[in-house]
Amino acid sequence: MSLIGEVYKVEFNSESNSWVGAFCFLSEDKLLLNFLDNEHGSWIKQLEDSNTPKSVDFAVDVMSREPNVVFNYVCNKESVVRSELDIAEYYPRIWRGIHSLNIFEIASPIKPLRIYGSLVTQSSVAVDSLFKSIEELFRFYEPSIKNREAFGHRNRELLILLCTEIENAWRSVLNCNLPLNLIRNRYNTGDYIKLKEPLKLDAWKVKLSNYPDYPEICPFESWAESAPTNSIAWYEAYNSVKHDREGAFEKATFKHLLDAAAALHIMQCAQWGLENRHYTIFDTLAWPQFKIEEQYVCPVEGETWIEKKYFSE
């Protein structure tokens, strides 16, 4: 079996952390190695080697002898796996980086502003405005368990705006990752729930930044295909108060408002990455841990990123 053009991933381990490398035989005489670089936070081109044996073992041995890159990390030869994506392929608006509380262990090869341009800025401005409006509410409502069932007109207004922005994000990510013949003018939660897996939405957890006594929020944890609207209470509340203010007004609660705000924060991170700087009222406590075969590999020098649809025909 020819290894030419196949991308493989391998894990490096230290006493407390792990790191990732990738390799690919570009041609009969060129071996390309990539490492997630601590300093730059992205995949970097490391080595092209001529006249080499074409084997996985040889490539792993070469990578394990690169002390200037892996430092005190030891190559785990048992972790070698074929990449799900080729070099430079990525799913649009689906973050697949590595995040850590240690800034030296953060890596995100996709730089959102370079790929998506002003879409990132527009998204951040919309979210910033909503979060500042919610923060203004904190002058009147103390974010506490006792106040979670308080409801009112401003809650309803902001809940509708938050969920409209979430739906916009869902629609945009879905459209980017569907074949042209499957794109529609209208979607519903039965369509949007398909994003739960690629965005790993149930893996995210947040807390209010300045209110440590308020409970942690995992707004997508209960999202289920069997009931894609009603299984997430904050979204069902939005749907109810939008269409029936008089009959469902009591669902415009402070809790549903904050749950929806947490969902919007997560949608920002799941699209653009945790390193994307937008104004927020949340700290992110948990995020997806992507398998090494799921992570993106940057383009070869001089080449560009290649967009790939997550959903096929």
Question: C-alpha angle 66/70/75, rounded to 5°?
Answer: 85
Output the pLDDT for position 29.
66
pLDDT at position 274 is: 86
- For 276-295, letters b (16+ CB in 10 Å) and e give bebebbbebeebbebebbbb
- Identify any residues that bridge with 75 across adjacent strands, giving them in sequence order: 12
Side-chain-side CA neighbours of 249 within 13 Å: the count stands at 6
Per-residue model confidence as pLDDT tens for the chain (313 residues): 566 777 877 777 766 666 777 777 776 667 777 765 444 444 444 555 555 666 777 777 777 666 545 456 677 777 888 888 888 899 999 998 877 655 555 667 788 888 999 999 999 999 999 999 999 999 998 999 999 999 999 999 999 999 999 999 999 999 999 999 999 999 999 999 999 999 999 999 999 999 999 999 999 999 999 999 999 999 999 999 999 999 999 999 999 999 999 999 999 999 999 877 678 999 999 999 888 888 888 777 777 899 999 998 6
Q: What is the pLDDT at residue 211?
A: 96
Burial of 45 (0-12, 13-18, 19+ CB in 10 A): middle
pLDDT for residue 41: 41
The span from the CA of 184 to the CA of 175, in Å, is 8
Domain ranges of the chain: 7-102+292-307, 112-286
Per-residue pLDDT at 152: 96
What pLDDT, on the 0 to 100 scale, is given for residue 16?
64
Question: pLDDT value at position 60?
Answer: 76
What secondary structure letter does DSSP report for 215? P
* pLDDT score at 106: 60
The residues that bridge with 102 in the sheet, in sequence order, are none
Among 199, 20, 219, 238, smallest CA distance to 94 is for 199
Q: What's the confidence (pLDDT) of residue 40? A: 42
